Structure 1
Amino acid sequence: MKKYIAAALLVIAPMAAMAETAPESTMIEVSDAALSEVSGQASLNIDPAQIIAGLQQINSFANIIKPILPSQGKQVVNLINVAATTAPVINNLVNGGKLSPADIGLLVKNGLTAGVAIGSLTSGL
């Protein structure tokens, strides 16, 4: 049980820290044009749906090879699974959508899964 609590705290701590230290008055919105000048990728135009589809394809492949991976590899697959399942919800939020109770449950469940996976990966360090 202590591991689950520690994992939940690992997941929530960065969000809470950013909420406290980055008030909106100090945040600057950068336009796509200005960002493309800095990044050098002015012609790169990737649709979020393409990114989500790519994550889901990687997740499908990772789940196929998961049984033959060592324990740390299985934790990486768990993190990929979290990214693939939460990406549509995060994309909806970024585009001004609202969270449903099912979305909140999904984020909490996947947050705990990610926390446990990260805890397992860092336990040997």
Structure 2
Amino acid sequence: GDCFPCSQEGCPMMGHYADRFPDKLNRVNQKYFLNTAADPPFTAWRQKVFIKLSGVKKIKGDINLMFYDTRGNRKEYEITSGDLSQEEVYTKYLDVEINPKNTTKIEFIWNKTIFTLLWARLGAERVDIIYGEDG
């Protein structure tokens, strides 16, 4: 989380050109971690998600976001699970396998627990997403 969003010099490059990044030698024995996707081409984009809920004041369940792209691909990511409250802003870092530039839709999904009342409603008052190049 400390390297997000990218510095003014831009996001560091990985692979053959990593040595060209200007801040590469700021610390001795610097560790770098590269999160990859499970499927080829193994790319993932780090995004920070903020969700403010609306509806029932307190309830149990799971909140997920489904990302859709221009090719019809979709991928679902869990944001939080358990006790949910309107008073909280839920924040999570995601490594999304869909390029933010190709995202066509992001769907808010609430999975109720079996004990949730049938009339209970929950939605997203606000969903904000930033990624490295925008941060």
> Structure 2 length normalisation: TM-score?
0.28
Q: Which one scores higher on RCO, CA 8 angstroms, separation ≥ 6?
A: 1
Q: Which has the higher strand share?
A: 2
Q: Which has the higher helix share?
A: 1
